[in-house]
Amino acid sequence: MTSELAQNDAAKPVKSNKPAKAQALTGVKGMNDLLPPASAQWEWLEDKVRGLMARHAYRNLRTPIVEPTALFVRGLGEVTDIVEKEMYSFEDRLNGEQLTLRPEATAGVVRAVVEHNMLYDGGKRLYYMGPMFRHERPQRGRYRQFHQIGAEALGFPGAEVDAELIVLAATLWQELGLQDVRLELNSLGQPNERAAHRVALIAHLEQHLDVLDEEAKRRLHSNPLRILDTKNPAMQAVVEAAPKLMDFLGEASLAHFNAVRAILDASGVSYRLNPRLVRGMDYYNLTVFEFVTDRLGSQGTICGGGRYDYLIEQVGGKPAPAVGWALGMERVLELLKEQGTLPEAVGPDVYAIVPDASALPVVFKTIQTLRAQGMSVQMHAAHGAGAGEGMGSMKSQFKKADGSGAQFALIFGGDELARGEVTLKALRDGAGAQEAVLLADVTTRVAEKLAQNTAQSQTVA
C-alpha cells in the first residue's frame, strides 16, 4: 500500500512556484495610442495652431474631459445622433451623478464661460485642443477617441466675427499647405424662420414616404432638417426638390449672411453655397459652414462650425451671441499624409557617443551645457537587461546615432578626453567629416556647425 501511494505521488505533476504569466492587455478598439515618430507630427500641427491663434488674439481654454450628461442633452439636442447613440455616459458610483465623456467641446466651453462669468467685461476669443469620445464604429478618419482643435468667439453678434473665424481656418490651411479643401456655406436663419421652413419641409417629405429610409422616417417629426444631410442615393432627388431654408429667411438674417459673404469675397476666400448644409447639433443658427475634401472618402469634413446665439442661455447663462468651429486633427493629418506633405520627424541635433562609462560625468556636464543653449542632445545609454557598466561597441553606438536622425555625433573617447577634447562627427554630409574640438569650445563649435547646416538647407529649398 505504501509503495502504491508513493507511485501515485510520483505521478502527480510538481507544482511550480513560478507566478503565471500575466495576460497582455490591449487598448480599447477605436482609441489609439499615439507613438513616436508620428507624435512629432501632431506636435507640429499643435505648434502651428498655437502660433496662428496668438496672432489672432485667441486665448487657450482647457475644460474637463468629463461633464454632466445634462449639459450635452440640453446643448446638443435630445434627438441628435450624438445624444441618442454615441455618448459614453455612466453613473458616478460615489454620488450617483450622471456623467459623460465629452463628445464635443463647444458645450463645455460655454459651460465654463457661464460658470466663471467670463463675459462680464466683454466678448472673449478662445481656442482649445483635446480628445473627444463617441461610441461609433471605428473607420478611417472616425474613431471612438478622436482629437479636435476649436476656436470660439463668445459675446460678439456681428457678421465680421463669423467671417473672422472662417478666414482664420482658411489661413491655417494655407500655413499647413493643405490642398483640395473647399468651403461650403449656408445660413440656418433664426428659430422662427426654421419653424416655418420645418412645416413646409415635413409636408414635402410626407408626400414621398415611400422613398424615405427608416432613419429619415424616424427623424421626420423630431429633426427633419437633418434629413437634408442624408447620403442615401435613393433620397437625393427628394431632398434636392425640398423647400430651401434660404427662401424662408427674413431681412435681418439675409443681411447677416450677405455681410459674411462680402467679407469673405474681399478676403479672397472662395466658397460654395450649400442650401443642404445643416450641421449635426441643434444649437446652430444663422451662419453655418464646413471645409470639406474629396480625398478622404465618406469622412470628407475636416472642419465645421457656425453661429450658436442661443446655447449660452440654454446652459443657464445670460443670453449672449457666439460663433465657432472645430477641426478634426486625425483628418487634417490624414489629408496631409495623403498629399505627401506631412513633415518628417526631426531628430536631435547631437548624439553623444560614450565608449566607456567612466566618461559619463564629463558627458553629462557637456551635453547639459549644449541643452542650456537650446540644442537637442540624445545621450547613448546601455541597452538590454544586465548591460551593467558596458556602454556597447562603437559600431553599435554609431548605428544608434545614425538611426536617431541626429546631425552630428559627439564622441567622448578616452584619448580625446585626456587631451581635453571631444570629436565632432557629421552624420548627414555623406562624408562623415570629423574634427577635434576642445571641451571648452564645444558649445560654440556645435552651434556654428548647426547654423551652417540650416543655411545650406535653406539654400537648397
Give the separation between CA 128 and CA 150, rounded to whole angstroms: 5
Within a domain: residue 235?
no
Tens digits of residue pLDDT in 387-443: 445 688 899 999 999 999 999 999 999 999 999 999 999 998 878 889 999 999 999
Indicate if the pLDDT at residue 163 is higher than 50: yes
* Residue-number span of the structural domain to which 52 is assigned: 38-189+249-339
pTM, entire model: 0.86
Taking residues 188-210, report their average pLDDT.
Answer: 92
Within a domain: residue 196?
no
Q: Are residues 401 and 253 in the same domain?
A: no
Number of domains in the chain: 2
Tens digits of residue pLDDT in 367-376: 999 999 999 9
Q: Are residues 65 and 127 in the same domain?
A: yes
Tens digits of residue pLDDT in 353-393: 999 999 999 999 999 999 999 999 999 998 764 444 568 88
pLDDT of 258: 97
Element housing 394 (H / E): helix 394-403
Give the separation between CA 434 and CA 367, rounded to whole angstroms: 18
Name residue, grid cell 469675397: 265
CATH code of residue 422: 3.40.50.800
> With bands split at pLDDT 50, 70 and 90, how would you rate the model's confidence at 148?
very high
Indicate if the pLDDT at residue 1 is higher than 70: no
> With bands split at pLDDT 50, 70 and 90, how would you rate the model's confidence at 80?
low
Q: Are residues 170 and 302 in the same domain?
A: yes
Give the separation between CA 331 and CA 180, rounded to whole angstroms: 13
Report DSSP letters for 33-57, one per residue.
---TTHHHHHHHHHHHHHHHHHHTT
Taking residues 57-65, report their average pLDDT.
Answer: 98
pLDDT of 454: 84
Name the residue with higher pLDDT: 122 or 456: 122
Element housing 170 (H / E): helix 159-176
Q: Which of 304, 339, 374 is the C-terminal boundary of a domain?
A: 339
Asked if omega into 37 is within 30° of 0 (cis), the reply is: yes
Q: Which amino acid is at 2?
A: T
pLDDT of 385: 47
Tens digits of residue pLDDT in 268-277: 999 999 988 8
pLDDT of 414: 93
Q: Which amino acid is at 48?
A: K
Cα-flanking dihedrals φ and ψ of residue 236, to 5°? -65, -40
Q: Are residues 357 and 329 in the same domain?
A: no
> With bands split at pLDDT 50, 70 and 90, how would you rate the model's confidence at 16?
low
Indicate if the pLDDT at residue 99 is higher than 90: yes
**Reading across the β-sheet that carries 124-133, which strands appear in turn?**
59-60, 124-133, 145-154, 322-328, 301-307, 285-292, 182-187, 272-273
Q: Which of 315, 339, 363 is the C-terminal boundary of a domain?
A: 339
- Whether 85 and 136 have beta carbons less than 8 Å apart is answered as yes
Task: Look at residue 209 and give its three-state secondary structure.
Answer: coil
Within a domain: residue 456?
yes
> With bands split at pLDDT 50, 70 and 90, how would you rate the model's confidence at 327?
very high
Ranking 195-204, 217-226, 377-386 by mean pLDDT, the lowest is: 377-386
Taking residues 155-181, report their average pLDDT.
Answer: 97
Tens digits of residue pLDDT in 243-291: 999 999 999 999 999 999 999 999 999 999 998 888 766 678 999 999 9
For the chain, the first-to-last Cα distance in angstroms comes to 91
Cell numbers standing for residue 275 = 442650401
Mean per-residue pLDDT over the chain, rounded:
90
Q: Which of 310, 339, 368 is the C-terminal boundary of a domain?
A: 339
Ranking 81-90, 118-127, 216-225, 364-373 by mean pLDDT, the lowest is: 81-90
Q: State the pairing for strand pair 182-187/272-273.
A: parallel
Q: Are residues 79 and 125 in the same domain?
A: yes
CA dist list (Å): 234 to 92, 103, 211, 237, 238: 44, 30, 7, 7, 8
pLDDT of 457: 74
Indicate if the pLDDT at residue 4 is higher than 60: no
Within a domain: residue 406?
yes
